[in-house]
Amino acid sequence: MLLISGSGSAQAAASLPGPDHLHLAVPSGEQLDYLRYPAKGKRLLIWVSSERGQAETERSAARELAKRGIEVWLLDLNFSYFLNGDRKGFDQIPAIDLQTLLQDASKKKGVVAFAMGRAAVPILKAFGSWKAGEGRLGHLDFVLMHPNLYEDAEALQEPRYIDFGNLKGARLLILQPRRSAGVVWLDHQRDALQAQGAVVRNEILERLREGFWERQETTDYETEMGQHLADLVWDRLPKGREK
C-alpha cells in the first residue's frame, strides 16, 4: 500500500515555482525524497541520479523534458538513504521501496526508468525481485547511463554481474560513454542481463567520459553535451507504452 506523508496527498512546495519537492513514505520506513517536474503528457520518467549525487545539469534536463510533455520524478538516493556515495549502500536499498514508487508511478502514466551508474542496481533489483501477485509490472523500459552492475570486477579475473532475479519484461537501453574502461565489457554485461530475461540494446556515446555532465574538468564537447542532456535522453526514450 502506498503511503504518502501529509494529509493524504504529497507535500509540495506549492508557493515556489519549478519542481514540487515531494516525500514518499516507503515500506522500509524511510522517506523517498524526489523532485517532481509535472507535465501534461502521458509518459513519466523516473530519473535516478548516480552514486555521485545529483547535478544541476540533471535538474535542467528534467525541466526541459517536462516542457516537452514528459513528467519527471528526479531522485537522489544518497539523500533519501544517507548513503554519501557508498556503492554498497546502493546495493542494499530495499527493493520493495522502489517497487512502491514504480507501482504508484505506473498507475498514472507510462513509466520509463532512467538510472545512472550504481543507481541502476536498486531499480533493476526492484524490477527483478518483484513477484507476480505482488503488483509486479508486466514490463518496464529502462535507459541506463553507464550502469555499474558488477558483483566483482578484479583485474585478471572474469567479471561477475549482480543477479537481479527475473528481468523478463525489462527492455534496457544501455548508454555507454566511449572513454571508459567499461566499454570493453559491454557485450559481457549484455549477455549477463539477457541471461536474466532482459532485452538489451547497447549504444556507445562517442567522445564522452562517464559522468560527463557533472565532471569538474570537462572537454568542450562534454560541456556542450551536459547542457544538452535533455536532448540526449529525449532522443532515446522508447516510443509507445503510454497510458
Partner 1 sequence: MEFRKMEPVAPPALATRDLNGMAHDLSAYKGRVVLVNFWASWCPPCRKEMPSMQRLMQKMADKPFTILAMDTGESREEAEAFLKSMPVDFPVLLDPESIVAKHWKVFAMPTSFLVDKLGRIRYVLPGGTEWDDGDGIKLILEMLNE
For the CA atoms of 98, 104, 105, 108, the dihedral, rounded to the nearest 10 degrees, stands at 170
Binding mask 206-225 for partner 1 (x = CB under 8 A): ---x-------x--------
Under the binding rule (CB under 8 A), the answer on residue 203 touching partner 1 is no
Binding mask 160-189 for partner 1 (x = CB under 8 A): ------------------xx-xxxxx----
Under the binding rule (CB under 8 A), the answer on residue 158 touching partner 1 is yes
Q: Cell numbers for 82, please give them.
A: 544517507
Size of site (CB under 8 A) for partner 1: 17
CB of 215 to partner 1, least distance (A): 9
Three-state secondary-structure class, residue 172:
strand
Distance (Å, whole) CA 95 – CA 112: 17
Candidates 150, 161, 164, 213; binder of partner 1 (CB under 8 A) is 150
Under the binding rule (CB under 8 A), the answer on residue 154 touching partner 1 is yes
Under the binding rule (CB under 8 A), the answer on residue 52 touching partner 1 is no
Distance (Å, whole) CA 160 – CA 171: 21
For the CA atoms of 229, 104, 190, 232, the dihedral, rounded to the nearest 10 degrees, stands at -10
CB of 114 to partner 1, least distance (A): 24
Binding mask 11-50 for partner 1 (x = CB under 8 A): ----------------------------------------
**Nearer to partner 1 among residue 23 and residue 179 (C-beta):** 179
Q: Which of 172, 181, 178 is nearest to 212 (CA)?
A: 178
Under the binding rule (CB under 8 A), the answer on residue 202 touching partner 1 is no
Under the binding rule (CB under 8 A), the answer on residue 157 touching partner 1 is yes
Positive or negative: CA dihedral 222, 228, 233, 236: negative
What is the maximal distance between C-alpha atoms in the chain?
56
Distance (Å, whole) CA 243 – CA 240: 9
> What does the binding site for partner 1 look like in residue numbers (CB under 8 A)?
150, 153-159, 178-179, 181-185, 209, 217
